[in-house]
Structure 1
Amino acid sequence: MRIAVIGSGIAGLTAATQLDRDHDVHVFESQSHAGGHTRTIPVESHGRIWPVDTGFVVFNTETYPGLCGMFDSLGLQRRETTMSFSVRCARSGFEYQGAGLSGFFASRRNLLNPAHHLMLRDIIRFHKDARTLLASGDETLTLDDWISARGYGKAFRNRYLLPIGASIWSCSRGDFGRFPARFVIEFMTNHRMLQIRNRPVWQTLVGGSDRYVEAMLRGFDGTLHLQSPVQRIRRTETGVDIKIESSGWTSFDHAVLACHADQALALVEDPDRTESELLECFPYSSNIVTLHTDQRRLPRRPAARASWNYLLGDEDEPASITYDMSRLQGLDSPEPFLVTLNDDGTLDESRILLQFETSHPTYHAMRASAQTRHDEMIGRRNLSYCGAYWGYGFHEDGYQSGCRAAAGIQAADKKP
């Protein structure tokens, strides 16, 4: 078959490289580079080139088994990293870091702050309490409602749990509070975040995450079309027609939509009721990503600095997180390379290296039933859908959904 894959993120590349063995596969990417949320920037500084990741960076063998298996098959080198987390309030000067008591009490004022001590007790209680929610099976209870019902303090909510979730899913604290509580606890349980010991060992790719994109493309037997935005997809009696901005309409036997759910729905000319119903269950939030070297975005006290650094603002403002990429990637750079999500305009412009916009899925109660129906969206009238939104929204989810799409298409093609 002649197959079009729309999007060159992890889901699209996975599907494409599994289908190109038996089919004529064409990948269409709107940007000038492949990789989707994976983007490594070569930064020249102090006489060296530093490969700095600005999107996907960390993974572990336990909750990213498919991805790690693929990395190994591609011969990529991995290294261990640290996944510490800090919270800071610029207005009050409050800040702490969660890895150890020295970081938790990095500000000596926290030693005398009853709310800070209560937050610590709430964290310990949460690790035990959260597991009871999994047995309930309630997909409609929001995280905020659950926090309130269980009597957790404001400090625990505002300075611990919501900042962590907003950082993980790149959304506002207000949006995260409306996430289904069971969805959040499932994720935290799977990633062993509800325990102090025996947590997963996080890793990064040596040389930057782009290494896997380059390796996948080296083994790709199809055709990659960069700077080729798809504008419309129309079903025909024999397949699909795709309108590409640079070349007009082109015919294919099948198309894999490996873009975001909202983008996919906007592209299809005649979505049926199931397609509309399921794809509308996955809204997205936009974020501005800035690569820079302005250390003022980090906590003031060195003991409070971490790999992920959350800056408290208004609850419904987009999450503002600064990732210390030098720490995460093990770069021995003279000054840390930082990636800030949603800068508030206070960064020193002379220290900004790159800025771009991206978006991430957010989740509500409807997602649970929708995610169980992914198979219905594979081989559906000559279209298949894949993407990380069919899972928790992370790289392993994108990889697995790409595998499912490719397997479904192959199975249907082999039927007599």
Structure 2
Amino acid sequence: MARVAVIGAGIAGLSAAYHLREQADVTVFEKEANAGGHANSVEVTDAGRTLGLDTAFIVYNEPHYQKITQFFAELGVACQAHPGRFSFNNADTRTCYVSDDFELDEAAIRAKYPEDFVQLWTEAERFYRESPGHFIRKQAEMSLGEYLTANGYSDTFRYGFVVLVATAAWSVPADRIWDMPAATVIAFFLGHGREGLGGRTAPWRTVTGGSINYVRAVLERLGAAGQDIRLGTSVTKVAETAAGVEVSTGASVEMGTEAGTELFDEVIIALHADDALGVLAEPTPQQRMLEAIQYNTTKAALHTDAACMPADREQWRSWNYARSGDNDNMSTWVVYYLNQLHDFTSATDYFLTLDYPFAIAPERIIQEFDYRHPVFTTEARSLQSSIHTINAGDSRIKFAGSYFHSRKMGIDIVGSHESGFDSGAAAADAVVRSLSVDSAR
């Protein structure tokens, strides 16, 4: 049986290994001590029970995460609905509104809010009504900033709504949002509901007990199939030779591993695009197309400090978007209220903050993380029309990652667990085709 290496045990790598589990002798290399990548749950003891608190991948919905939904069903992983809903708050003015308000009619909005929110609500309704048609007719093939200007959207809508949802969805700084492809942003709302990640118009679900449970189920399946899972093993170089593909690994005193080089028939690199290029001994011109994918680092903190939330507890929601500063010098962040997201009751409130600009009480911090997310520029979107061809050539090295679009959902469905999972399946398919060609020779 052919030997295949999968480098990286995030959703893309796990998907690739899962799809190859009965067709090749697979070795999975993961530099971290745990598999899962952004499927990263922290388990805490709370009133004698264990709570799995997700810190990156948290929710999905069945209509637009169809392959992930099927995957969880195959694994027999328990999942549950979560209530959705969001709040938007301005930390400077202490003003806040909640997603429930978008379900009111205009008369109720005018009775409850000042004119600037009425304008925001009115433009949001227009955006939901008009943008799908622009997307379908390819009238959104421009940057988000250009699209909003061309269609007469105000700064109130841009900075009071769009920038908050978009920075949270893609984990990028506010000043980079306007260069994102408008079509990608519109597709996000089409796939995630009109309120983005926090709404109730999409049937959101979460893995019961945290996403760590689906990772454990995958590892159990891979182990039962005899696959070799090497955690805490960092790959330092991948070199294609006439005999196959050499994979070199570094030594780790902590994990008790030694440096070495092994030969494989095929290799799937399921890392961030820049990290994938970084381990290649000699990237080909075609492989260098991945240089178009840029990344941004997000600071995440899991903690119990309620100072990050709106002052009025009645305004707490699952997803709490916030901003501070003026439009030209703005900080944006999001707070996930995990008690609501995971739908559990506790005397302790658990929060996950992304890029929170203020101090968190040190004694209330459970754990902190740095996560890297792809930044989708117009250049990166243009790449999507041909990105899957990187695995169609004669090279024995294939690629997978959430920077690939979902083949079924289209070029604007990128950066999600669904696209990461699909990319792993696509890379596995490419390996099977390559091995079939070799065996036919």
When the two structures are superposed, what TM-score results if normalisation uses the length of structure 1?
A: 0.93
**2:401 aligned residue:** 387
Q: CA RMSD in A?
A: 2.5
Number of aligned residue pairs = 413
The amino acid that maps onto 2:84 is M
**2:270 aligned residue:** 258
Q: Deviations over 1:201-239 (max 9, x none)?
A: 111111111111100110102111111111111111121
- Contact 1:172/1:316, CA 8 A, preserved across alignment: no
Q: Deviations over 1:268-305 (max 9, x none)?
A: 111111111x2112111001111001111111122322
Matched, 1:342 2:347: no
From 281, 290, 294, the equivalent of 2:305 is 294
From 227, 241, 244, the equivalent of 2:246 is 241
Matched, 1:353 2:328: no
From 220, 224, 228, the equivalent of 2:229 is 224
CA distance 1:71–1:47, shift in 2 (3 Å): same
Q: Give the Cα–Cα distance (whole angstroms) in 2 for the partners of residues 116 and 272 of structure 1.
A: 52
Q: Give the Cα–Cα distance (whole angstroms) in 1 for the partners of residues 380 and 329 of structure 2.
A: 21
Unmatched runs of 5 consecutive residues or more in structure 2: 252-258, 406-413
1:145 Cα deviation from its structure 2 partner:
1.4
CA distance 1:272–1:42, shift in 2 (3 Å): same
Q: Deviations over 1:24-78 (max 9, x none)?
A: 1111111110001011111123333221111111011101111111111111111
Where 2:60 maps in the other structure, the secondary structure is coil
- Contact 2:9/2:29, CA 8 A, preserved across alignment: yes
CA distance 1:54–1:192, shift in 2 (3 Å): closer
Q: Give the Cα–Cα distance (whole angstroms) in 2 for the partners of residues 3 and 274 of structure 1.
A: 22
CA distance 1:102–1:400, shift in 2 (3 Å): closer
Where 1:273 maps in the other structure, the secondary structure is coil
Unmatched runs of 5 consecutive residues or more in structure 1: none
* Equivalences for residues 107-186 of structure 1 within 5 A: 111=112, 113-137=114-138, 140-186=141-187
Matched, 1:370 2:383: yes
CA distance 1:223–1:378, shift in 2 (3 Å): same
CA distance 1:169–1:393, shift in 2 (3 Å): same
- Between stretches 185-194 and 312-321, larger displacement belongs to 312-321
When the two structures are superposed, what TM-score results if normalisation uses the length of structure 2?
A: 0.88
**1:208 aligned residue:** 210
Matched, 1:328 2:329: no
Identity of aligned residues (%): 27
Deviation beyond 4 Å, 4+ runs, structure 1: 101-105, 314-319
1:141 Cα deviation from its structure 2 partner:
1.4
Matched, 1:397 2:411: no
CA distance 1:122–1:139, shift in 2 (3 Å): closer
Q: Deviations over 1:230-269 (max 9, x none)?
A: 1111111121112211222222111101111111111111
1:194 Cα deviation from its structure 2 partner:
7.5
Where 1:251 maps in the other structure, the secondary structure is strand
Q: Give the Cα–Cα distance (whole angstroms) in 1 for the partners of residues 102 and 134 of structure 2.
A: 28
